[in-house]
Structure 1
């Protein structure tokens, strides 16, 4: 824990103006920049949030200095009335920090957990999204090392786990606040159901779309303010519409991206002209050729397959698949796999990683021609169409049609020849 008593300055934690004769000698902000950096390396995350609210000098120093916070993973969940963030650090002394923001009428409840440290408070007259980015924004602005993974998930339904709010704080507020002209009962909330029911009743008027739109606007605005695109290795997002992803992706260092996972928010229907939303702009991203894994779920792709098939690990959805599409994927799979095997045997790759491609579809065009081309169709639940052995190797391309409750797909998988 960072001890503020180390510094002989009464400014920290106080707002009153001291007489001239009582001004301390050498206030902390007069220390050399190198010394301040050394100090901040020993500051836990909770104290960092506090220091930013002590004075503008601390806030400006923290926000404008690219401190090595050793952040590796970020997981953010957004609902109509909550934002939950889970931060993982590489440092052994700072493994993780959990931030829980819950809308409470026109106010916001905050709970922060870092190791054994735990704090909770009410932020009066603060919007949920503003409260979150006031704390988290400086991390986004200053992150210089590549994040191993960034996960952002939007959900249509509020959920309030018991550990995500402080029951004593909630009870103290419940006795002093009334909402929408209705006085609340003064009896303390008991058990698990009563606090959840209370929070749901307060936040029942809110829906996901306004919160998600505001969240992504603020997120993109902070990324735009950076001097360089933020480096992320794996980006995993669940979004309402393609624009939420695309606006963010254009502000990320795509050359650092190894994998992208994009999902449509379940339980939220938003279609254009009665058709499922399409995600095609992704192929136009600068640096898209560096992507090694791409999974798109819930959005259709109508872009030419040639723009996607360079990706070794690929899953996406189309409305209609044709025999030409299947043969094209087979040809590309065999070509790329031959190249990978050659590089591996020439010691230019550490391992010949198995490659997998999967295309979900609604309809098959010229199904009879497809069957004639690939051969006998077995009657199992998973219908294996064919195996194509790669010459002069023990590798075989297995093409199969798989039937799932959530859709049908063609999969292209490399297996060892039996």
Structure 2
């Protein structure tokens, strides 16, 4: 008895594809329409890293046991493309913390869970003669997202080339000797050749333009649930975010490749976008904002740093959060607190030690309550939390796990 491809059950197909790598998946897409439709319906995670004259494209999926990534690097003849296979390996359990117990909020949120690490062999390497690095990446990236019809779990973009170099006292020297027995050009280009490279800012400019043009070439907006971008200004984010379908977007995470730049993030155009209004979670690291607090009140949870806050802002947030059944938590860092002496007058008597204030507000027709924690000393954070009164958050600085 002969079984055709269209007779293979979906659970058998899933087991087959779990054992396949990145290259095999692309080959199987061309076998028949059933394979192509099954693969395109997978909910993947896409990550793009822009290094110094090199780009890596990573594809992960909970449906596949192994994943892979492709690395594109400059070469005097064109572009070097390397394919790597990844196997997820869990590190050994963390030893118990002797000097500092794990807070309840960390146990609930899983922030102390071990993080998976990845390693794997190189599957293939080839040199595309006469093909520019950006063109090679754009063609493959377009093939990946062009075939994707299902929702993408994560879409991450990291500007690794703009990150500061590691401390020279804690890393290897910035020059490397070349083994004469090896090829002078491989998947790693010596640091001594950095004079050959264009400026990092110009490379990032070309990279984001290529990414934007590829996303715009799609007939439909990319269906992404969680968008994470590393940028140095809001204009770079706006090159990518409008190409994401707001109907599926759940969270927006923004960070900077710089170390604590504490620069203002101009968000006038961002807060008017559909993606901003539809997202439920917002996380902005390494920047501060001066936009009115009302622009953030539609989020269920948010973490950001604002330039200035006052008691009127906190009162507005209290009223909105009490009336919202979907609200979870807000963590707001601030530079200036105007009218801090009016806190007791605004919210009533509080539990305090002079450096922090803690209030509990009942929520009508709900088993939960609203907690407000205002920290006046470093790190200057305001926390709103909605949860059962039996499991309150930690008071004072113990609860401040968000760094700016």
**What TM-score, normalized to structure 1?**
0.66
Q: Secondary structure at the match of 1:254?
A: coil
Deviation of 1:147 after TM superposition, in Å, equals 0.3
Q: CA deviation at 1:104?
A: 4.1
Distance 1:286 1:202, change over 3 A: same
Match among 296, 300, 304 for residue 312 of structure 1: 300
> Corresponding residue for 2:142?
137
1:356 aligns with 2:329: yes
Corresponding residue number in structure 1 for 2:158: 153
1:220 aligned to which of 191, 209, 212: 212
CA contact (8 A) 2:43 2:61 kept: yes
**How far apart are the structure 1 equivalents of 2:234 and 2:62?**
32
Structure 1 distance, partners of 2:376, 2:135, is 45
How far the C-alpha of 1:371 sits from its partner, in A, is 4.6
| Residue 327 of structure 1, CA deviation | 0.5
1:97 is matched with which residue: 47, 68, 72? 68
Q: Does 1:397 align with 2:370?
A: yes
Q: How far 1:139 moved relative to its partner?
A: 1.2
CA deviation digits over 1:138-165, x for unaligned, max 9?
11223211101111111224999xxxxx
User: Paired residues, what number?
Assistant: 325
Moved more, 145-154 or 81-90: 81-90
Asked if 2 retains the 8 angstrom alpha-carbon contact of 1:314 and 1:358, the reply is yes
Instruction: Tell me how far 1:261 sits from its aligned partner.
Output: 0.7
Superposed counterparts of 1:246-285, under 5 Å = 246-267=238-259, 276-285=264-273
For the residue of structure 2 that corresponds to 1:215, the secondary structure is helix
Matching of residue 76 in structure 1 with residue 48 in structure 2: yes
How far 1:398 sits from its partner (Å)? 1.1
8 Å contact from structure 1 (residues 107, 122) kept in 2: yes
CA contact (8 A) 1:321 1:364 kept: yes
Report the Cα offset of residue 106 of structure 1.
6.6
> Deviations along 1:205-251, whole A, 9 cap, x unmatched?
54432222111111111111111111001111111221111121111
Question: How far apart are the structure 1 equivalents of 2:229 and 2:180?
Answer: 31
Question: 2-side partners of 1:105 and 1:159: how far apart?
Answer: 25
Please name the residue that 1:286 is paired with: 274
The one of 103, 113, 128 aligned to 2:133: 128
Which position in structure 2 is the counterpart of 1:321?
Answer: 309
Q: Does 1:46 align with 2:23?
A: yes
CA distances 1:373-394 after superposition (whole Å, capped 9, x unpaired) = 234462387x233221224543
Quote the residue 2:289 is aligned against: 301
Q: Which of residues 358, 378, 383 is equivalent to 2:352?
A: 378
Aligned residue in 1 for 2:389: 417
Identify the residue that residue 9 of structure 2 maps to in structure 1: none
How far did 1:257 drift? 0.4
Whether the 8 Å CA contact 2:241–2:275 is kept in 1: the answer is no
The separation in 2 between residues aligned to 1:387 and 1:222, in whole angstroms, is 50
Q: Which residue of 1 aligns with 2:82?
A: 111
Mark the structure with the bigger radius of gyration.
1
- State the secondary structure of the residue aligned to 1:88: strand
Stretches of structure 1 that go unaligned for 5 or more consecutive residues are 1-40, 53-57, 161-167, 178-188, 190-194, 341-353
Separation in structure 2 between the aligned mates of residue 169 and residue 89 of structure 1, nearest angstrom: 38
Matched-pair contact (CA < 8 Å) for 2:158–2:229: yes
Distance 1:77 1:209 in 2: 15
SS of the aligned residue for 1:311 comes to: coil
C-alpha offsets along residues 329-356 of structure 1, whole Å, 9 cap, x if unaligned?
111000103xx5xxxxxxxxxxxxx600
Q: Aligned-pair RMSD on alpha carbons?
A: 3.9
